[in-house]
Amino acid sequence: MKTKIVSYTLDKLPALTKGRRAKLMALAGRADSEIDTSDIPEMTEEQWKNARRGNFYRPRKRQITARVDADVLDWLKGQGKGYQSRINAILRREMLVAVKSGR
């Protein structure tokens, strides 16, 4: 007997049927106390203590064309491989400072 393997990507999921949508709505309406988590016990405060939000988040990259002063580019390239990643890190740091300060 041959087994057919079906795989989906998040951007190409099949449409929800009315039946599946109804099941999801029913589950969403249930109280947390009604959910059986015996096969997946809830995490304790001790386990959450070292949790970090967004640990596996990787922003999408977009290719751009930017003009940078020659001495700045020489300085970045002079630090070794990965100057584009350093540019991104510098810009991200400045963005986070600006967001935090409300600019």
* 53-94 confidence digits (pLDDT tens): 778 888 889 999 999 999 999 999 999 999 999 999 999 999
Q: What pLDDT sits at residue 20?
A: 92
Q: What pLDDT sits at residue 53?
A: 79
Q: Which of 71, 94, 74, 93 is nearest to 83 (CA)?
A: 74
> Do the Cβ atoms of 25 and 33 come closer than 8 Å?
no
At residue 7's C-alpha, the angle toward residues 58 and 60, to 5°, is 15
**Residue 45 pLDDT > 80:** yes
> Do the Cβ atoms of 87 and 76 come closer than 8 Å?
yes
What sign does the CA torsion over 53, 55, 58, 59 have? Answer: positive
